[in-house]
Amino acid sequence: MNILELTSLVLTELIKINNKLKKLNSNVKKAIINFQPQVYNLLQIVNVDSFFKIQFYRIILILFFLQLLFCASYKRPNWILTTEHSNHITTFKNSIQFQFFIEPHSDLTYVNNLISDIFTFVDILETYPYLEIRNSLYKIVVYKHYKSYKEYRPFQVESLAHFDRNKKEIHIPLTIYYNHLGLEYPTPKFVMYHELIHAFLENCCEYSLWLNEGLALLLQNVQEKFVCNQTKILFPYGLISHKNILIDKNFELPIYPNFESLYTIYEHNLISGFFVYYLWGNRELLNTIHIIKNTSLYEFYTNNDLKKYQILKSKFYEWIKKIPNHEFYILGC
Ligand SMILES: [Zn+2]
């Protein structure tokens, strides 16, 4: 779970509350303003102009850099290392092996749901030609709730789950808890799917960072088996709600030379997500991956002619400007 997804999730939740709030009569609204000014202020941040949004993103970015500082002090919880103190399950999906390290006293109904969701997802994901699910061992560390995950998380930022590339482990809580809302509910399925895609990609494909992140953001939302030009994938509001940032800043495309050094990780992930959705919607995703395997995509597009890159970039921004401001399904290949 990265900053972009977390921000999206929080914003989506706040917008939902705001929509409910609109339905309340004005007296109730006044009461909320009087008695819960912090909640009301949060709602304003979501709803008002981009100045406040930018401040919000700045805070998220600072938190991200703090996350990097805290990585060094990460210690894995003891209960994972001693099997007698943890629930240790190994399951198989054909020849794919999943090893779960489950925190004691976890709700086993949630664990069962998680396992069955993973199996269903793998069945669907296997049909997509953009990655290969290799027969291998995938380790998943399951925390009973968000509070517990937060305790062992290698960084301070409010991430919901992560894939540890060094240890090749997915870390995920069974439930998510928001302090400011006082709510605890099962971790959304796409959080697990996103980290699973990172784990599968790590094992099969040496893609660049932008393609890795973009594919995870796209494929986390698949709901049906792949049929070129017939399958639809959800374009989530969490991503759409950030489109004006891209338009305002006119970022270069991820295939631009030194793209990674030009932008923050947040900006990097944002444009990577949009660009992969663009390639999918324009039936160019598979072709693009084929090209990347053989050559630099930037060289392919420019071929000593910068105009071709500029044309691709302007087509991309024209497409973004036409995206509606609500969730929708996008047909592609
Ligand atoms: Zn990711």
In a domain, residue 133? The reply is yes
> What amino acid is encoded at 285 in this protein?
L
Whether 67 and 151 map to the same domain: the answer is no
Whether 312 and 230 map to the same domain: the answer is yes
In a domain, residue 247? The reply is yes
In a domain, residue 210? The reply is no
Whether 90 and 118 map to the same domain: the answer is yes
Ligand 1 centroid distance, CA of 177 (Å) = 20
Contacts of residue 286, defined as CB under 8 A and 6 or more positions apart, other chains included, come to 129, 130, 228, 333
In a domain, residue 213? The reply is no
Ligand 1 centroid distance, CA of 216 (Å) = 6
Is 0.85 surpassed by the pTM of this model?
no
Ligand 1 centroid distance, CA of 301 (Å) = 26
Whether 257 and 225 map to the same domain: the answer is yes
Predicted local distance difference test score (pLDDT) of residue 309: 87
Predicted local distance difference test score (pLDDT) of residue 186: 92
**Ion ligand 1: residue ranges with CB closer than 5 A:** 2, 216
In a domain, residue 215? The reply is no
Chain-centroid distance, C-alpha 329: 17
Output the CA–CA distances (angstroms, integers) from residue 105 to 86, 148, 193, 255, 330, in the order listed: 9, 11, 24, 47, 41
Whether 242 and 291 map to the same domain: the answer is yes
What are the tens digits of pLDDT across the range 163-201?
A: 998 889 999 999 987 666 677 889 999 999 999 999 999
Domain with 314 in it: 220-331
What are the tens digits of pLDDT across the range 106-147?
A: 999 999 999 999 999 999 999 999 999 999 999 999 999 988
Q: How many other C-beta atoms are found inside a 10 Å radius of the C-beta of residue 230?
A: 11
Task: Give the count of domains, the chain.
Answer: 3
Last residue of one domain, picked from the residues 73, 101, 131? 73
CA angle 193, 199, 201 (to 5 degrees): 100
Ligand 1 centroid distance, CA of 207 (Å) = 13
What are the tens digits of pLDDT across the range 197-251?
A: 999 999 999 898 999 999 999 999 999 999 999 999 999 998 999 999 999 999 9
Taking the C-alpha atoms of residue 116 and residue 136, their distance in angstroms, rounded to an integer, is 18
In a domain, residue 306? The reply is yes
Whether 86 and 35 map to the same domain: the answer is no
Whether 85 and 60 map to the same domain: the answer is no
Whether 92 and 169 map to the same domain: the answer is yes
Whether the per-residue pLDDT at 75 is higher than 80: the answer is: no
φ and ψ of 5, to 5 deg: -65, -40
Predicted local distance difference test score (pLDDT) of residue 206: 86
Ligand 1 centroid distance, CA of 195 (Å) = 7
Last residue of one domain, picked from the residues 40, 73, 106? 73
E strand or H helix at 56: helix 50-70
* 87-93 vs 96-102, strand pairing mode: antiparallel
Contacts of residue 170, defined as CB under 8 A and 6 or more positions apart, other chains included, come to 138, 139, 140, 141, 161, 162, 163, 164, 192, 195, 196, 198, 199
Ligand 1 centroid distance, CA of 22 (Å) = 33
Ligand 1 centroid distance, CA of 273 (Å) = 10
Q: Which two tokens stand for residue 272?
A: 């990577």
Last residue of one domain, picked from the residues 171, 204, 237? 204
In a domain, residue 214? The reply is no
